[in-house]
Amino acid sequence: MEPVSAAVSAVLPAGGSGERLGGATPKQFCGLQGRPLVSYAVRAMERVSWISDIIVVVSPENIETMKSIIEKYGHKRVTVVKGGITRHRSIFNGLKVFAENQSSNRLLQKPEVVIIHDAVRPFVEEDILLKVVTAAKDHGAAGAIRPLVSTVIASGEDGCLDHSLERARYRASEMPQAFLFDIIYQAYQQCTDHDLDYGTECLHLALKYCKTNAKLVEGTADLWKVTYKRDLYAAESIIKDNLSQQICIITDLKEAVAQVGFLLHESLKSQVKVEAISISLSKNDSHLQNIFSGECYNFLCINDKEYATEEIQQLVDMLEKSNIPLLYPVVLILVHLSISENISFSIGLEELTKIKKFAREVKKKNILVYGLLIQCKDHFSLQETVNSAAALTMALIKDRNPELIGQLLVA
């Protein structure tokens, strides 16, 4: 697909109260893996280099909250705008910052194409954004659609079925949508109060007021809108699933450690992408730096020392510097290796307390530390223990349970 040749900006309506979801916090501010939902939608726009300005529209009482989210997660190119009492009114307010001088916001450069995307649809990829923007350039308006899950029916005044629609002919209108700015802005300017208060479809406004038939673009299944409580659980599961796709195994150069690293690699590779590196942490390995700049959020650090304080601290420092834990919690599993005839418990209470204390400290940096003991009598029983360690590792990275940090699991 051709790169975008138009100036593009985005408006994210985030001014609702989330009545259907319930609870005191509007859904856009509910935490997913510790970060508010709205931040995921902002991040999805921000990582697209060809989107210039990102307007987030929030209700007046949430302006400060939104500003602190932007500050905390280092979001760039974002302007916060005061919302209205309905979604259409909020979107219209968002569009106005490109067209009218406002007392609280400076006038921003008017884009040729504007994307409108609900702040409560966190999984929007560059590919679909590009498709709707390109289609909007050609057709004036475009929006993502999905097949209907249920048949749409109409009931009569008596509460009985009046008629039903042929499901295959209809589609669910989703987001993102994109418009030539002048078209959608003119449409909003002509809206009646009834449109602004009861309307739910921006594409319809472009058709009604600007005779623009939007191009409909097939979207992906995860464009759905977080509406009910169960959607928050689903979104959290998707995020966890995405975060557990890759793991980096770090070993030092000792033979026994490298062997366990190799066996773990073999055992894990059918379930996740595994990067294995064998290094001396103190050398600030460049390969490790590359992994930090990638999309890896899970690290398994194997050691045969009692408690490798210095090495682990170095790893934590490197992670922190890389900014990886800013947006997602990072899982760091400290594997303690003990292969000896004498199978007596080789870690004392003092060490366990140390790990716990350390884990509590680094949790503040959004790094979840767990301990894992691989202990066996000889190299023959090693494979079985490693398989158990791999299963525990998968459970830890899939679950990312903050309550279990600092615990030592025995493989």
Ligand X SMILES: O=C(CO)[C@H](O)[C@H](O)COP(=O)(O)O
Binding footprint of ligand CTP on the chain (CB under 6 A): 13-20, 26, 28, 57, 83-87, 90, 118-120, 225, 227
Distance separating alpha carbons of residues 191 and 229, to the nearest angstrom:
32
Give the helix ranges, DSSP H, for 13-73: 37-46, 63-72
201 binds, among ligand X, ligand CTP, none (CB under 5 to 8 A by kind): ligand X
Q: Which of 112, 126, 182, 201 binds ligand X (CB under 6 A)?
A: 201
Q: Which is nearer to ligand X, 206 or 369 (by Cβ)?
A: 206
Specify the amino acid at residue 385.
T
What is the H or E stretch that residue 92 is in? helix 87-96
Shorter beta-carbon distance to ligand X: residue 124 or 175: 175
Contact with ligand X (CB under 6 A) among 49, 192, 200, 342: 200
Which does residue 271 touch among ligand X, ligand CTP, none (CB within 5 to 8 A, set by kind)?
none
Place of tokens 């006038």: 107
Q: CB of 121: closest distance to ligand X in angstroms?
A: 8
With binding defined as CB under 6 A, does residue 175 bind ligand X? yes
Residue 83's binding partner, choosing from ligand CTP, ligand X, none, with beta-carbon cut-off 5 to 8 A by kind?
ligand CTP
Smallest distance, ligand CTP to C-beta of residue 186, A: 21
Nearer to ligand X, 192 or 270 (CB): 192
Q: Per CB under 6 A, which region of 88-96, 129-137, 167-175, 305-313 contacts ligand X?
A: 167-175
Nearer Cβ to ligand X (175/260)? 175
Residue at shortest CB range from ligand CTP: 16
Q: Are 34 and 59 in contact (CB under 8 A)?
A: no
Q: For residue 29, give the nearest of 116, 122, 140 by alpha carbon.
A: 122
Nearer to ligand X, 13 or 329 (CB): 13
Structure tokens that stand for 406 in this block:
């600092």
The owner of tokens 């009218």 is: 100
Type of residue numbered 396: L
Nearer to ligand CTP, 82 or 240 (CB): 82
Stretch that binds ligand X, among 171-179, 264-272, 355-363, 388-396 (CB under 6 A): 171-179
When binding is defined by CB under 6 A, the residue of 27, 87, 131, 265 that contacts ligand X is: 87
CA dihedral over 125, 129, 132, 134, signed as positive or negative: negative
Which of 87/96 has CB closer to ligand X? Answer: 87
Q: Of ligand CTP, ligand X, none, which one sits near residue 375, judging by CB under 5 to 8 A according to partner kind?
A: none
Q: What span, in angstroms and rounded, lies between the C-alpha atoms of 403 and 368? A: 9
Between the two ends of the chain, the Cα-to-Cα distance in Å is 49
Q: Does 225 interact with ligand X (rule: CB under 6 A)?
A: yes
From the list ligand CTP, ligand X, none, partner contacted by residue 406 (C-beta under 5 to 8 A by kind):
none
Closest CA relative to residue 228, chosen from 19, 21, 24, 16: 21
Strand order in the sheet with 330-339: 273-278, 246-251, 298-303, 330-339, 367-376, 408-410
Asked if residues 109 and 7 have their Cβ atoms less than 8 Å apart, the reply is: yes
Residue ranges in 140-271 assigned as alpha helix (H): 181-190, 193-198, 202-210, 229-243, 255-268
Footprint on residues 96-125 left by ligand X (CB under 6 A):
118
Nearer to ligand CTP, 25 or 227 (CB): 227
